[in-house]
Structure 1
Amino acid sequence: MTRCDATAVRVLIVEDTPSRNGALTRALQVRGEVVVCAQTVTGAVSVRVVSREAPDVIVLSLSTDDGTGQRFIELVMALRPTPILVLSPRIENRQSLLAIQALVAGALETLPTPTQWNADAEAQLRRTIRRLSTVQAIRHPRGHLARSARRGSTPSVRQAVVALAASTGGPRALAEVLAGLEELRAPILVVQHLHPDFIDGFVGWMSRESALPVEMATHDQILQPGHVYLAPGHKHLRLAAGLRTELSSGPVTLHRPSADELFRSVAVHAGSAGVGVILTGMGDDGARGLLALQRAGGQTFGQDEASSAVFGMPQAAQQLGALSSLLPLNQLAPAIKRASALVQA
């Protein structure tokens, strides 16, 4: 075990299989601003090592996707919340299934394991470690559920989060759906592809039609159950940790706000408590994000072809296998209410 310098970021390396490869340790420690305090393998003993060492950041190195890493993350976030970076050769980007599973479980960041640690890869790793060391980790909902299950107690009530996305023909469809959501006890995040000049009028229209209060989303808002938050023009709307909103100009995508960005964020921060709905629209924005949400255990719905002005977006999601159900427009609001009630039952 290396003695930790007080000025260095203290890192614990955890692996899902024992390894004698010191390349990761060398990549971390080469400049001296990061110190590896201990190394262990996933399992109950590794959680005790986390408690004993109290590292600033955990680097979880995964070579398989058998679920051991995800269980480790959930246990850490329940017992001793610590920023976790997941490295794996099975991760290509943040949309990779293993990356989504890790983020849903409570990890803060994921990176692909390079085939060879060169100077650029080492520098990126250390930059990420330094950034994560400044983040205060919070107890993750899935970790709470895992801990409660072990004690045999009743899990705490989860908060459902609803995400709606639409494009061509969307405002009329959204108006009908929002009108049918009376008494819904979940926050609703909405992305509508629309020119920024029309956003104010769109907010006013939805406010008149909706059974729930409607407002333009602002950055770092705490979401309230039974409220509707509309994405502003030229900003992505995402769900962030702690049931907060996140507005961002990046990444630059064909559509901004992007349905994919919204749905992916709900997959990460709500997981199985997320409800995603894709309405009429041209193109395929939202299909991959809905697939991420479905893989995270969320419930996903699409507007059927007969009731859609343009079936492009729901059809793209259907072809990816990202939809739990394809429903007529007039059945979507009841489906959302049922799905939300199941989450919080």
Structure 2
Amino acid sequence: MSQPLRILIVDDSALMRRMIRAMLDRDPDLTVVGEAADGREAIARAAELRPDLITLDVRMPVMDGVETTRQIMAYQPTPILVLTASLSRYDIDITFQMLGAGALDVMEKPQLSDGAALERARIALVRKIKLLARVKVVTHLRGRRKQNVELSMVNGELPNKQATATSPSLGGTSTTDHSPFTIQHSPFPVVVIGASTGGPGVVRQILAGLPRGYGAAVVVVQHIAQGFSAGMVEWMAGSSALPIMLADAGAAIRPGQVIVAPDRVDLLLDDKGRVKLSALPLLLQRPAIDITMQSVAEAYGPLATGVLLTGMGRDGALGMRSIRRAGGYTIAQDEASCTIFGMPKAAIDLGAAHVVLPPDKIIEALIARVDTPRRGIT
């Protein structure tokens, strides 16, 4: 690197700020340019210092992590890495709200433990910062709209309601002349959704858009830090008409239900629709999207649909190609709506994607592809 990456540390604990600074100062490619003890100070320091990345606490006085993320992403878009000390339900919920507001990723805070564990935590933190600091983040206007609404209410004004636009017809950038076909025969179809950095909010949006009684089983493989998958499931379930649960070994998948791969293991399906969880170190990333998609391609062939969303690297590209070669249907998220276009681009370059779509069109494609019974599945 020609210039060190400039980092802003935000945490209400002076001890934690000192610890994170000491960890980062050991790497010549990183320099800590400032600190902040609460959200409001973080916003001011971000505007003043224009750092390459912000490490952001969840619980803080004056302004919590959610509103801080919204304001930074609305007025000074900067890569944000969420650091949380707790995996409690309350803190996990705030954490995923921060990811939905534009933060890129989450890690558990380093613990004051033995030297070997602390060094492993330092290496993981430095690696994550170096990856995320180069991401070109986009402005999230929701923070500005929220602030404008609050100002209008203070002034005694009511915001104008926008007319709801009707959904346009299914479309997008197609990499082939083939169109999606509707699956109407048994066994039931399976949809695999793979995502990494920037993915939780998009996955949540897609699941929230699928109707109750959706006629396919849905499998989600989201790269997430260890310890956060259960909380992510609860967060996603809060906005979905479909039941969402962590995958259990031996459980049978069902149409109208969503299972999510636990962190640190790979999820496979057999031809009877039963879950197998594997901890074999077959790939660098675990859970691996490629492994899940390849197993679904083998077991379900033309009944499989693969969806590859935002993320860094190439995981999922080979799996998407397996689904396409098996006669299934494949969708890649478009570049404009991706936080990081790496994984979808890899699939597109490989010729693995039938179509390239934004999230709202992905929802339409998934609904159009699957014949959903009118009666919901309970």
Place the TM-score, normalised by the shorter chain, in its bin. Answer: 0.5 to 0.7
Amino acid at match of 1:286: G
Amino acid at match of 1:325: V
| Coordinate RMSD, CA, aligned | 1.4
CA deviation profile, 1:5-44 (whole Å, cap 9, x unmatched): xxxxxxxxxxxxxxxxxxxxxxxxxxxxxxxxxxxxxxxx
**Paired residue secondary structure (1:237):** strand
- Quote how far apart the aligned CAs of 1:251 are: 3.7
Gapped regions of structure 2 (runs ≥ 5): 1-183, 373-378
Which residue of 2 is the match for residue 271 of structure 1? Answer: 301
- Quote how far apart the aligned CAs of 1:340 are: 2.1
Which residue of 1 is the match for residue 275 of structure 2? Answer: 245
Which residue of 2 is the match for residue 288 of structure 1? Answer: 318
CA deviation profile, 1:222-262 (whole Å, cap 9, x unmatched): 11111000000111011112111111112431110000001
Distance in 2 (CA, whole Å) between partners of 1:156 and 1:314 is: 29
Correspondence 1:230 to 2:239: no
Amino acid at match of 1:252: L
CA distance change for structure 1 residues 228 and 156 in 2, over 3 Å: closer, same or farther?
Answer: closer
TM-score, length-scaled by structure 2: 0.48
Distance in 2 (CA, whole Å) between partners of 1:290 and 1:212 is: 24
- Quote how far apart the aligned CAs of 1:203 are: 1.1
**Paired residue secondary structure (1:190):** strand
The range that moved more, 191-200 or 319-328, is 191-200
CA distance change for structure 1 residues 263 and 226 in 2, over 3 Å: closer, same or farther?
Answer: same
Aligned residues: 188
Distance in 2 (CA, whole Å) between partners of 1:341 and 1:156 is: 9
Distance in 2 (CA, whole Å) between partners of 1:156 and 1:209 is: 29
Distance in 2 (CA, whole Å) between partners of 1:190 and 1:159 is: 17
Distance in 2 (CA, whole Å) between partners of 1:197 and 1:240 is: 26
Which residue of 1 is the match for residue 250 of structure 2? Answer: 220
Runs of at least 4 residues off by over 4 Å: none
Among 187, 194, 218, the residue aligned to 1:158: 187
CA distance change for structure 1 residues 195 and 321 in 2, over 3 Å: closer, same or farther?
Answer: same
Which residue of 1 is the match for residue 199 of structure 2? Answer: 170
TM-score, length-scaled by structure 1: 0.53
- Quote how far apart the aligned CAs of 1:294 are: 0.1
1:298-317 equivalence runs, <5 A: 298-317=328-347
Distance in 1 (CA, whole Å) between partners of 2:281 and 2:370 is: 30
Distance in 2 (CA, whole Å) between partners of 1:156 and 1:311 is: 34
**Paired residue secondary structure (1:301):** strand
Identity %: 42
Correspondence 1:210 to 2:229: no
Gapped regions of structure 1 (runs ≥ 5): 1-154
Distance in 1 (CA, whole Å) between partners of 2:371 and 2:277 is: 28
Distance in 2 (CA, whole Å) between partners of 1:211 and 1:287 is: 29
Among 361, 368, 371, the residue aligned to 1:338: 368
Distance in 1 (CA, whole Å) between partners of 2:239 and 2:266 is: 24
Distance in 1 (CA, whole Å) between partners of 2:328 and 2:282 is: 26
- Quote how far apart the aligned CAs of 1:305 are: 0.4
